[in-house]
Structure 1
Amino acid sequence: MWTVPKPKYRTGSCDEGEIAVNIGGVRVVLFGDVLTRYPESRLAELLNCSTQNHEVISSLCDDFDPGRKEFYFDRDPDAFKCIIDVYYFGEIHIKPGICPICFIKEMEFWKIDQAVLDECCKSYLSEKEEELTEIANKVKVILEDLEVDRCITRTQRCQRFMWRLMEKPGSSRSARVIAIASFFSVLVSAVVMCVGTIPELQVADPEGKLVEHPILVAIETACMSWFTAEYLLRLASAPNKLHFALSFMNVVDFMAIVPFYVVLSLTYFGTSSMMELSNVQQAVQALRIMRIARIFKLARHSSGLQTLTYALKSSLKELGLLLMYMSVGIFVFSALAYTMEQNHPETLFRSIPQSFWWAIITMTTVGYGDIYPKTTLGKCNAAVSFLCGVIAIALPIHPIINNFVVFYNKQRVLETAAKHEVELMELKSGRGARRKSAEAAAE
C-alpha cells in the first residue's frame, strides 16, 4: 500500500530535494516532489528558485538563512498545518478555532486556490462572510446616524433628521419618545377596537342600530390621525421611497390605515341609496375587520417579535414537514373513521370530507366533542390518531426553538461586534487626529 510521506518537524539541515521553512518558530521540512504538485504555490516557487537570487527569495519569504537553507515566514503555524494538507491530500479543512476569513488570507498568501477547500468548510466560510456583511451593514447604519455632513443642503438635512427621528429610536431621546408613543397608540387602538364590540358600551344611531360609542370613535380617530401622520412623515423622509413603500411592515401600516378612510368616505360622503345596498355594508364590515392588521405594527417596536418572525422563516422546512405529517394523518384517520362508523345507525361521520374536521381537532388534542366515534373500532382509531398527532406536533418543535435561539444570539453578537467596530474606528480616527496635530506642532 502506497503512503504519502509526511512533513518533518525536525531541526538540522535538509536533504537534497527538500525545503526547510520556519513558520512562526515551527520548523518544517517539506519534500520537493510533493510541493511540485502545485507549481504555482509560494512554496513551489521557493523550491525552484536559486538560493543565490536574494531578491527573489526576499520577495517570497520574510527572511532566509543560507547556512541552514531555511526560509522564515512570520505567519500563523496552526493555519500553515492546514495549508500543507493540500500537498498531501489534495484538499484543505479549516480546523476549529481558526478564523475562516483570516485563513482565506493565509491561502492567498501561500497562493493556494480556494477551490481546494472542502464543501463543509466552504459553507462555513460563506456563513462567516454573511455575518461580516451584516456587521458591515450595521456599522454603516451606525455611522450614518453619527455622521454630520456639512455639505448637504438644508432640505436634505431636515429629511435626514426626520428619518432618524421616525426610524431610529436609539438616535436621540426625541426619537425614543416618538417610538414609545407609537407603541402605546397601537395598544390603545387595539383595545378600543375590542371594547367597541361590547353591546353594553354601544349606542343606538337614529335608525336604531347599535354603533360604537362616540368617545371610542374619537379615540380611534386620534390614533388613526397619529398613524397617518407617522406614515406620511416616514414616507416623506425615506431615502428610497419605492423600497419604503414595498417593505412588508410598511405595507402592513398602509393596510391598517386605508380601511379607516375608506369606511369614513363610504359613511359620510356616500349617498343614502348607496349605503342601503347590502354589498356596500358588507364591504364596510370587511374593512373594519382589516383594522386588526395594526396589531402587527407592534413588530416594528419589538426586537423579540422580529426575531420570532425571522426564526419562523428559517424554519419553513420544519413547518412544511409538520403540515405534511398532519395532512397525511388527517386524511388516513378521517377515512378510517368514516369506514368504521358508517354502519352505526347514529353515526356522526356522514362523509370523508366531513370527517376531516374531526381528524383535525383530534390530532391537535382540541376535541370539541361535536363529532365523536361511537363504535369500539372508531374509538381505537381516535386514540391512535391523537397519539400520532401529539408525536407529529412535537417532532419539529426542537428545531424551531433551536433556530430561534441561534438567530437571537447571532443578532446580539452581530450588534455587539458592530458597536465594537465603530468604537475601534473612533479610536483610530482619534489617534490619527492627535498624530497629525503633533506633527503640525513639531513643524
Structure 2
Amino acid sequence: KESEGERERALEKAGSGLCAEGEIAVNIGGVRVVLFGDVLNRYPESRLAELVNCSTQNSELISTLCDDFDPGRKEFYFDRDPDAFKCIIDVYYFDEIHIKRGICPICFIKEMEFWKIDQNVLDECCKSYLSEKEEELKEIANKVKVILEDMEVDQCITRTQRCQRFLWRLMEKPDSSLPARIIAIASFLFILVSAVVMCVGTIPELQVMDAEGKLVEHPTLEAIETVCMLWFTTEFFLRLASSPNKLRFALSIMNIIDFMAIMPFYVVLALTYLGTTSIMELANVQQAVQALRIMRIARIFKLARHSSGLQTLTYALKNSLKELGLLLMYMGVGIFVFSALAYTMEQSHPETLFRSIPQSFWWAIITMTTVGYGDIYPKTTLGKCNAAVSFLCGVIAIALPIHPIINNFVIFYNKQKVLETAAKHEVELMELKSGKETPFNPILNLGSELGRKVTKACSNAIKYNRFNSCPIK
C-alpha cells in the first residue's frame, strides 16, 4: 500500500510545473512525469538515480544522462518509448517489472539497458517469454544468414563457380529472377500434368490392349509421362550439379522424394528393355513393376517444394509428435476397450456381427473416427449404448490435440513470414550498397551493421506478427 501511495503521489505531480526539493521531472517522448528522489535511490546505479544525485550545474554530466535539459523547468528530456518507461518505473515501487501488451520484448530489453535496470528484476513469466523470443530471433537470424549466403555471388572466384551459383539460384530461388520464376512455374505445371496422367491412365475406357490381352496405358499418356520424366530428370541433375553442398543435397528429404519420383520410370524402362521372355514371365518381376508404377504417386510430394504452406504444415506436424502420440494412445486404449465391450455385449444375439475382439477393432476404429460404414453394427441395446459412448469418446479424443497442432502451425507460419520479410529487406539493402562496401561476410555477426539490421527486421516482424502480452498484466 505504501508503494502504491507513492506511485499515486508521483502521478499527481505529473505536469504540475516546477518540482519540489528531492523531486525530478522527466519528459519521456512527450509524456511528463514527476518522480521522487528517495524512491529512485532504491536503485542507485540506475540512470534515474544518477539524475537525482547529479548537480544541475554540471552540464557535461547531464548531457551524458539525458537527451536535453531545461534549466528553467528543471526538466530532463528523453527521446525514448513512454509505454516502456511506464513498465520500467514499476521496479522502483514494486521491485519487479512486467512487459505490457503492445511492447516488443526485444526493444523492451534495450530500454532496460538504457535506463540501467538489471534484467533480473523481470518477473519469471516475462523471463521465460523473453528467453523464448531471443531464441526465436537467433533462429530466424541464422536462417536469414543461410539465405543471404545462397544469394551472394561476390564470394565466387572463378567463372565456373559463378556459373554454378547462377544455376543454383535459377533452379532453387524462384524469386531471384524472372527466368527462375518461369522455371518454377513450369516445374509446378509438369508435376500437375504428371499427376493427372497417372490418374487418367487408370481409367479402363482410356486404356488399350497389349499383345497379351491385358489393359495398359494409352500410348499418348505414356508419351506425356515420358516428357514429364525427362523434365524431372534434367531438373534433378541440374540441381545436383549446381548444389554447393552435394552431401547435404543428397540427404535432403525433398531431394530423396524427387529421386524416388523418377526412379520407378527408369527401373520399369530397364526391365522392359532388358527383359526376355523368360524374365518377363516371372510373376515376381511383374509384381515389382506394378509396385514401382505405384511409387509414381510420390511425385505429388514435389509440390511441397513450391509451397511454403505445405512446408510449414510439415514442420508443424514434426513439432506436434507429442500431441499426435497422445492422440494415438487415446484412440488405441479406446479401440481396445470398446471393441472388447462390444464383443461381450453382442454375444447374446444369435445374428451377431462381432465374431471376435480383433474383428471388433475395425468397428471401434470406424465408430470412434465418426466414419460409420455400417458394415458391422451392434444389434443389442447394450451394444448400441456402447457404440454411442465410443462415438462421443472418439470425438473428444480427436478434438483434444487439435488446438496445439494448429498453434504450432501458426507459429511456424509466422516464422516463415518473418524470415521472408527479413531476407527480402537485407537483399534489397545489399543491392543498394553493392560496390560501396566490402563483400558480404558469410558469418552473420549480430553486432555488425548487417547483423543489427537483420535483428531489427526480425524483431519488428515478431512485434507485429506474434506478440502476446505478459499473462500477469
Classify the TM-score, shorter chain: 0.7 to 0.9
Q: Distance in 1 between matches of 2:244 and 2:149?
A: 16
In the alignment, does 2:164 pair up with 1:162? no
Q: How far 1:252 sits from its partner (Å)?
A: 1.1
Task: Please give the residue correspondences for 1:154-193 in structure 2 after superposition, counting only pairs within 5 Å.
Answer: 154-193=159-198
Specify which of 236, 244, 257 is matched with residue 252 of structure 1. Answer: 257
SS state of the match for residue 345, structure 1? coil
Give CA deviations for 1:35-79 in whole Å, capped at 9, x if unaligned.
444343323444455666554443333345667765443322322
Specify which of 54, 71, 80 is matched with residue 75 of structure 1. Answer: 80
Q: Which residue of 1 aligns with 2:158?
A: 153
Give CA deviations for 1:289-348 in whole Å, capped at 9, x if unaligned.
211111111122234433443454455555445434433332232121111012223222
CA contact (8 A) 1:20 1:70 kept: yes
Task: Please give the residue correspondences for 1:258-277 in structure 2 after superposition, counting only pairs within 5 Å.
Answer: 258-269=263-274, 275-277=280-282
Q: Which residue of 2 aligns with 1:368?
A: 373
Question: Which letter maps to 1:376?
Answer: T
Q: How far 1:227 sits from its partner (Å)?
A: 0.8
Q: Which residue of 1 aligns with 2:241?
A: 236
CA contact (8 A) 1:143 1:422 kept: no
Task: Please give the residue correspondences for 1:265-414 in structure 2 after superposition, counting only pairs within 5 Å.
Answer: 265-269=270-274, 275-313=280-318, 316=321, 319-394=324-399, 397=402, 411=416
CA contact (8 A) 1:136 1:418 kept: no
Specify which of 8, 18, 39 is matched with residue 12 of structure 1. Answer: 18
Question: Which letter maps to 1:302?
Answer: S
Q: Distance in 2 between matches of 1:373 and 1:25?
A: 75
Question: Which letter maps to 2:227?
Answer: A
Q: Which residue of 2 aligns with 1:437?
A: none
CA contact (8 A) 1:165 1:175 kept: yes
Question: Which letter maps to 2:228?
Answer: C
Change (3 A) 1:87 1:194: same
Q: Distance in 2 between matches of 1:366 and 1:231?
A: 41
Question: Which letter maps to 2:232?
Answer: F
364-373 vs 351-360, which deviates more? 364-373
Q: Distance in 1 between matches of 2:249 and 2:41?
A: 56
Unpaired segments of 5 or more residues in structure 1?
434-443
101-110 vs 3-12, which deviates more? 3-12
**Equivalent residues, number:** 429
Question: Which letter maps to 2:222?
Answer: V
Give CA deviations for 1:258-295 in whole Å, capped at 9, x if unaligned.
22223333443367655555444433332222111111
Q: How far 1:186 sits from its partner (Å)?
A: 1.4
CA contact (8 A) 2:167 2:242 kept: yes
SS state of the match for residue 371, structure 1? coil
Change (3 A) 1:102 1:235: same
Change (3 A) 1:89 1:269: farther
CA contact (8 A) 2:84 2:103 kept: yes
Q: Which residue of 2 aligns with 1:438?
A: none
Paired-residue identity, %: 82
Q: Distance in 2 between matches of 1:286 and 1:389?
A: 35
Change (3 A) 1:425 1:266: closer
189-198 vs 126-135, which deviates more? 126-135
Specify which of 75, 78, 100 is matched with residue 105 of structure 2. Answer: 100
Q: Which residue of 1 aligns with 2:229?
A: 224
Change (3 A) 1:23 1:351: same
Question: Which letter maps to 1:23?
Answer: I
Change (3 A) 1:338 1:123: same
Question: Which letter maps to 2:160?
Answer: T
TM-score after normalising by structure 2: 0.76
Question: Which letter maps to 1:12?
Answer: L
Give CA deviations for 1:204-246 in whole Å, capped at 9, x if unaligned.
5555554434433333222212111101111111223322222
SS state of the match for residue 247, structure 2? helix
Q: Distance in 1 between matches of 2:189 and 2:82?
A: 58
Specify which of 46, 49, 63 is matched with residue 41 of structure 1. Answer: 46
Question: Which letter maps to 2:161?
Answer: Q
SS state of the match for residue 99, structure 2? coil
TM-score after normalising by structure 1: 0.80
Give CA deviations for 1:6-35 in whole Å, capped at 9, x if unaligned.
27242433434x555443444444444544
Tell me: higher relative CO, structure 1 or 2? Use CA pairs within 8 A at least 6 residues apart: 2
Change (3 A) 1:370 1:76: closer
